[in-house]
Structures are given as C-alpha cells and as structure tokens.
Amino acid sequence: MPKTEVILTHNIVGLGGESDQVKVAAGYARNYLFPLGYAVPLSGANKRRLEALKQRRAEREAKELNHMTEMGAALSKMTLLIKVKTGEDGKLFGSITAGTIADELKHQYEAALDKKKIHLPHPIKTLGEHEVELRLHADVKASLKVKVESTNPAPAPEAAAAAPAGQEAREGGRGGRGEARESRGHRQQRATAEKGDKTEKTGAPKGDKKPKAEKAEK
C-alpha cells in the first residue's frame, strides 16, 4: 500500500499533533485527512505554516493541562456511588469496568472522561469502597473513590423481630396448655387425697359392726 507524507493540522489520537510530519496510507490521506482539513500534503509552501501550527498546538496542550488539573482536583473529592445487583452471598452479577465508571461519571456529574484515562487493571467484583487511579494527562494523575452498593433490599428489622416474637408466643401457648393440663392433674390428686383423709377420720365402715348374737352371750 503506497504511503504519503503529510503535515497534521489537528491533533489526531494515535497519529500525532499539530505540526507533526507523519507518513500515512495514500488512500487514508486522500479520503479522510485532506477532505476534513486534518492534514495537508508535505510541500515547501505548507512547511511555512509549521510555526503557526506549533503555536496552536502549544496553546491547545496548555488548555488541556489546565482543564485536566482542575478535573483531577474535583474528582479526587468525589465519591462515585454505583449500585449493582448481587446474589444472596453478596457477589456481584457481572463486574464494574472502566467503561462503567466513565458512564456513571457522565450520568451523575456530567463529567466527560475518556475510559482510557481510567486505570483499572482488573474489573471491580466486590462491594465496598475502591480507590481508582485516573491518568488524566501525562503530567496529571488523580484518584477517584468508587463505592459499590447492592440494590437488593435489606431485610426489614420489624419482620426480623416479628419472627422470634411469634415463635415465642407459640412456645408460650404450648407451655400454657401444658400448665393447664398439669393443674388439672394436681386437682385430681388433691381430690383423691381428701377422700383418703375422710376415710381415716370416720374409722371402719358400718358394715364391720359385731353381730347381735355375741352381745346375748355376754
């Protein structure tokens, strides 16, 4: 594929900044860079534009540095809350990536941040607080506190307390019935004991008297 050398007039990520002289595919330059004004062909006339392009580049980079410095200071004071679904064991369904954090920053704080500037070696897979490194600029680094919470509803305290109370009431009911049965048993025992006492006080029953014939002999 034939190459052609061009002078960039705009910053193009992955290719270069204003005033850089780079080689690109001829078709890429002809169909994309030149029509959009992102580059011009390398020529003696265009080389005279280099100083103006370098000045524009310096101003842009200074502005970006100032913007990223302010953003880093602001983000370091923030806590980004991300709510996720979890299982009963507290494990996340899925994980939180740099793209997730960038989307939430945009949604919650309207902070536009390229996910490539969010340094996350491994996706976040646990609840709690996490410190995430931000590489905003070659000269600007910051950290963002990310707090991950579960969207699963917590058990209601009243419901949790009602279960033991109900259980205690049922146990109390069973104990009450047992005490009632025991009381009836005690009443039966007392009745039997009272009958025995009456028998001892009255002595032998009337059927045990001596026959009249014995009195006649005396």
Residues of the chain with CATH 3.40.5.10: 3-69
Residue 141: the pLDDT is 95
Architecture category of domain 73-150 in CATH: Roll (3.10)
Q: Which of 2, 20, 3 shows the shortest CA–CA distance to 11?
A: 20
Start-end ranges of CATH 3.10.430.100 in the chain?
73-150
Which residues lie closer than 8 Å to 96 by C-beta, 6 or more apart? 82, 84, 123, 124, 125, 146, 148
What CA–CA distance (Å, rounded) separates 100 from 118?
A: 10
User: Global pTM?
Assistant: 0.60
Write out the two tokens for 63.
Answer: 């502005």
Phi, psi of 104 (to 5 degrees): -70, -35
pLDDT the model gives residue 31? 95
CATH 3.50.50.60 matches 3-69:
no
The one-character DSSP state at 124 is: B
- Better pLDDT: 95 or 171: 95
Q: What is the pLDDT of residues 125-165, one digit of tens each?
A: 999 999 999 999 999 999 999 999 998 876 556 555 555 55
Residue range 93-120: average pLDDT? 94
Mention every residue, 6+ apart, whose C-beta is less than 8 A from residue 84.
92, 93, 94, 96, 148, 149, 150, 151
Tokens 């169909």, located at residue:
31
